[in-house]
Structure 1
Amino acid sequence: MASKGPAENRLKSYKTKGLDVSEVRRRREEEGVQLRRSRREEQYSKRRNLTDVDELEAENATFPEGTPFTEVARALFANETEQQLAALARFRKALSKFGQSPPIQEVIDTGCVPRVVEILTFDNPSLQFEAAWVLTNIASGSSLQTRTVIGCGAVPHLVKLLTSQHEFVLEQAVWALGNIAGDSPECRDVILGSAIMPHLLKLLLVPDLNLTVLRNAAWTLSNLCRGKNPEPPSDVTLTCVPVLARLLYHTDPDVLCHSCWTAAFIADGPDSRIQRIVDGGLVNRLVELMLHHERSVVTPALRAVGNILTGDDVQTQVVINCSVLPSLITILATPHENLRKEACWAISNITAGNRVQIQAVIDCNVFPLLIDIMNSGSVFKTRKEAAWAILNATSGGTRQQIRSSHYLKRALQPKEQTYTTVESRYELLGT
């Protein structure tokens, strides 16, 4: 069977009531590219663990600056633990300098990675920590460098370290796993296939867990749930929904950010996945977080809610019942253009719903704001989203709804007709 193209695969991103299928598919493809670009800007999929300069200058007696990496690598095979620690620390520091391109390939070229992976199995927390840090920063590099870590068998050992009694060890292990998962869907699936999820979810539920560990674990979870072509297996990722329901009430903005992204990734799919988010009781909290004081939380919360609104009318009504429209009105007044655009996109999926849902938008006086954005907005993509929200309402609303809404009638006045073609719809934008 021929594979579906990207437009067809992303068909569900917009509801289709009143629209020609070819229009929706084209719009889905365009929006998909933009959302992916926005996602890259909002959340890094890999992170390097950096070291302070003062620490880099300390403890360099064994392997001072300029010592060949081949000599450092040989020390990993020494019998003395102190030599092994010194060698790992030298590699770790070389890979951790602020503001410098790390010598990842040079370290790999010494052939040390299999030995570093082996050291993960040693019954020595300090060695395990240093080895995991080295692997974390190697995995922060290119896909080929990340696959070197996988190819040397690091993943099952890193997963096992999630049960360590030492927080500093498990923190570094979960960070390394997050970097590997963030490289690509293929690497992500290697991690998911190593039975990480039960260990990670158990870790996320530990009472009074160190905040930096919790942040890293929540970030790793988001990397495990992200990605397309292929998507992560739902039977694995959906097991995190009950844990998300708790994480979304944490007070730390970073934990909230990562948890909202995880919810957004899960909801970016079929209605069955959206239903798990609904059944898990996440919707009301996600709507609340749309008005969080940190933009890093608002962006993924809005994305998650917008993705839920691509579901069926029943799922959309759940979101409306959580008072999403007043929150969207607040976001429409923000100076942040990306948030305004996504708010318009979310509203367009409400107005693509049933007539009761269109009436809810009318009753909240959203259309004056949309028309103002459509006519006066400075960014084309935001204006286009506002136009789609209006056009969905004029296509799916009743004549009485259109007649009773001064603003919907005003939206139709330029052509004095219901818009039926792509060209005439875009004329609403004045371009």
Structure 2
Amino acid sequence: MVDGVRSDDPSIQSEYASKFKKFLLDEENPPIDKIIESGVAPRFVEFLKKEDNIELQMDAATVLRIISEENTKVLIDHGAIQIFVHLLASAAAAATDSLLLLLLRMEATTALGNVACASVESRDYVLRCGALSPLLAQLHENADMWMLRTAASTLSAICSVHPRPPFRQMEPALYALQRVLHRNDEQFLSAACWTLYFLSHGPKEYIQSFIDAGLVPRLVQLLGNNSPSVIDRALGTIMYLTTGDNQQTKVVIECGVLPLLADLLTQDYAIRCQNIKRDACWAISNITAGTEEEIQLVIDANLIPKLVNLAQNAEFDIIKEKAVRAISHAALGGSNDQIRYLVEQGCIKPLCDLLVCPEPEVIFKCLYGLENILMAGEAERNIGGVNYFSQQIEDAEGLEKIKNLKQHVNNMIYLKAMQILETYWAEEDDEQT
């Protein structure tokens, strides 16, 4: 086969290039290292240029794509990346789209994805070769679904390597994906939402780009998708989009996110169920960290009882912690009436229970939440003369846990515990003093 590929006779080249492809496709563990050592890789790169013989191009692209699954350096060293980019750009500009041309584009796209996800250096090399623009051109209204899946998968591969590529460089992907995100195909949506998830990590300027691209309504809608994989990745993106300013968070809420988050807190999925519940609580905690108006919207969506239930009964501690974080944020920023509602729904006990958590940040959240509840209780005391909330904290064994925090190694936790005790229980401890 090696001799046939090296032949100067075009018909023999085609015959043995086809045999090479079939051999690699049929072998469960093809001997990639031996094939590279035979020196035929540059020959297949040459075949990629044979625009007058698309069958030969196709065979070469498949061989190089399979090689790229184990060795990306050989493609870079022999100039295959530039040719793959050229093939993508030429195909995007072509008036017709034959089956072979479609398959050739898919092989080129997959190979570029294999190279891009190998390392930061190879990813950056693929981008320097100009792959992004022709790749995004494949994401259009009339695109074949197989091509959409392949392009979205390669795009997610480009964005997955850490550190991520510069956001402004990748920002055109937001608009390209928005054009086709309405397509209802699980594999495509999963890859597309994976890309959006990677791009959503950042400051409010990034979040605004998502809003400007018109992505938020569809991302929120995808929280009701039938696929746990799609939900998981769309939710991860929503989780970051709710970290913006109040106006940006309002956009997400107005798209109807709260009822869908409520559903996710009670749905059971065979796959990634716990990730979904965790991230749903996380997104809600981002919202309850906002204004009283946003907290009220969470209350009106009947999310608090569900959060309290998870905080007390969730199977995994990480879900309990995220649920308590959402409750604590509501207690921190809520009005006295809202805090009274939180107490009525049973939020004191889970806040007290997590005072023994090993994570200092979680303890802080619980302490600050309980402090605000006690402050609201003081406002009630002015009317009735009794701080009923302090008694409920004692009944939930919270007072004992707060006293134990005087021994905590974290000085800030110790100081906050002392402040609460001295303010609301007139704590006097000569030894500690």
Query: 1:381 matched to which residue of 2?
Result: 318
Query: 2:147 matched to which residue of 1?
Result: 213
Query: 1:372 matched to which residue of 2?
Result: 309
Among 96, 103, 109, the residue aligned to 2:25: 96
User: Cα–Cα, structure 1 residues 117 and 414, in superposed 2: closer, same or farther, change >3 Å?
Assistant: closer
Q: Report deviation, 1:118.
A: 1.8
Once the two structures are superposed, the pairs formed by residues 211-360 of structure 1 within 5 Å of their partners are: 211-229=145-163, 231-335=164-268, 336-360=273-297
| Structure 1: gaps (5+ residues) | 1-71
Q: Report deviation, 1:368.
A: 0.9
Contact kept? 1:174, 1:220, Cα under 8 Å:
yes
- 2:148 and 2:355 map into 1 onto residues whose CA distance is 52
Q: Report deviation, 1:156.
A: 0.7
Contact kept? 1:403, 1:409, Cα under 8 Å:
no
Equivalent position SS for 1:250: coil
Letter in 1 for 2:152: A
Contact kept? 1:394, 1:418, Cα under 8 Å:
no
Q: Report deviation, 1:290.
A: 0.8
Q: Report deviation, 1:412.
A: 5.7
Q: Report deviation, 1:409.
A: 5.9
383-392 or 283-292: bigger deviation: 383-392
Letter in 2 for 1:82: S
Give the TM-score of the pair, scaled to structure 1.
Answer: 0.75
Contact kept? 1:375, 1:383, Cα under 8 Å:
yes
Contact kept? 1:371, 1:411, Cα under 8 Å:
no
% identical equivalent positions: 34
**Structure (1 or 2) with the larger CA radius of gyration:** 2
More relative contact order, 1 or 2 (CA 8 Å, 6+ apart): 1
- 1:399 and 1:418 map into 2 onto residues whose CA distance is 23
106-115 or 129-138: bigger deviation: 106-115
Q: Find runs of 4+ consecutive structure 1 residues off by over 6 angstroms.
A: 416-420, 426-431
Contact kept? 1:155, 1:194, Cα under 8 Å:
yes
Q: Report deviation, 1:73.
A: 2.5
Query: 1:146 matched to which residue of 2?
Result: 72
- 1:102 and 1:372 map into 2 onto residues whose CA distance is 53
Query: 1:29 matched to which residue of 2?
Result: none
Q: Report deviation, 1:427.
A: 8.2
Give the TM-score of the pair, scaled to structure 2.
Answer: 0.75
| Structure 2: gaps (5+ residues) | 95-100, 368-395, 402-433
2:328 matched to 1:394? Answer: no
Query: 1:117 matched to which residue of 2?
Result: 45
Q: Number of paired residues?
A: 354
Among 173, 179, 185, the residue aligned to 2:108: 173
Query: 2:117 matched to which residue of 1?
Result: 182
Query: 2:410 matched to which residue of 1?
Result: none
User: Cα–Cα, structure 1 residues 391 and 86, in superposed 2: closer, same or farther, change >3 Å?
Assistant: farther
User: Cα–Cα, structure 1 residues 181 and 358, in superposed 2: closer, same or farther, change >3 Å?
Assistant: same
149-158 or 193-202: bigger deviation: 193-202
Q: Report deviation, 1:402.
A: 0.6
Equivalent position SS for 1:96: helix
Q: Report deviation, 1:328.
A: 0.5
- 1:126 and 1:317 map into 2 onto residues whose CA distance is 53
Residues 352-400 of structure 1, C-alpha deviation per residue, up to 9 Å, x if partnerless?
Answer: 2222222221221211111111111111222221122112222232333
User: Cα–Cα, structure 1 residues 282 and 193, in superposed 2: closer, same or farther, change >3 Å?
Assistant: same
Residues 133-187 of structure 1, C-alpha deviation per residue, up to 9 Å, x if partnerless?
Answer: 111112122xxx1122212211110001112352221121111112212223322
- 2:162 and 2:353 map into 1 onto residues whose CA distance is 42
- 2:120 and 2:362 map into 1 onto residues whose CA distance is 38
Q: Report deviation, 1:418.
A: 10
User: Cα–Cα, structure 1 residues 409 and 398, in superposed 2: closer, same or farther, change >3 Å?
Assistant: farther
